[in-house]
Amino acid sequence: MTDQDREAALIWSWMANADAWTRAVREGRIASRRLATDAAIVQAVAELQPGRVLDLGCGEGWLMRALAERGIEAIGLDVSLELVMAAEETGGGRYRCCSYDELVDDPTRAGGPYDAIACNFSLLSANLVPLLTALRANLAPGGALVIQTVHPWTAAGDEGYADGWRTETFDAFGGEFAEPMPWYFRTLGSWTDALRGAGFRLATLREPIHPETGQPASLLMVAEIAAG
């Protein structure tokens, strides 16, 4: 299977699993999110004191609603129309259906400039530099990109610590998911290379800890536009 095939399967999984994902998030079925990572991304974005935020890969809109409660204006983009419709039902901001390829082709589709752009477990593709470059074009001066993703150390598993495609079956989330999801695992070095390649510099790196396991629940990075 080619990278292009996997990218297409990744997009399809979010469309096919939209209802199951919405229920899993809203019913609090994902322990790591409930106990650590949701609060971590909200705190990281709020600390920037942004007036306007883009939530890229907004899903069913939970982060948008959390930011709205703090008086932060947010716009959510997602490739899945089903998820966008679910998000619109509960509010929190304005939502648009837009693929990452469309954003790369025309960065103005994101509607910037933004004081902050949040990517919460939503950067799952192999080649991130074109997308990150498009996001950089949507940041206001002094703005920041906030990325939360799986922690490479805890997510490496038996397949080893090397970049490559993996498969998420969602078995731990209740068995309602119709399609597995291809996703691209990357090392910490690969993350920093992608940011650098898109014209960012890493300003902050955090490792939220799962309170029950004592292991890193995620990797959280705040990046700024590199000088020069």
What gap in Å lies between CA 120 and CA 56, rounded to an integer? 8
Domain with 43 in it: 3-225
Number of domains forming the structure of the chain: 1
The reported pLDDT for the residue numbered 201 is 98
Give the model confidence (pLDDT) of 169-226 as tens digits: 998 887 789 999 999 999 999 999 999 999 999 999 999 999 999 999 999 999 999 9
The reported pLDDT for the residue numbered 228 is 73
The reported pLDDT for the residue numbered 1 is 79
Give the model confidence (pLDDT) of 81-115 as tens digits: 999 999 999 999 999 999 999 999 999 999 999 99
Give the model confidence (pLDDT) of 142-161 as tens digits: 999 999 999 999 999 989 99
CATH, residue 137 = 3.40.50.150
The reported pLDDT for the residue numbered 100 is 97
Backbone angles phi, psi at 192, to 5 degrees: -65, -35
The reported pLDDT for the residue numbered 174 is 74
- CA 221, 57, 2, 182 dihedral sign is positive
Give the model confidence (pLDDT) of 2-48 as tens digits: 999 999 999 999 999 999 999 999 999 999 999 999 999 999 999 99
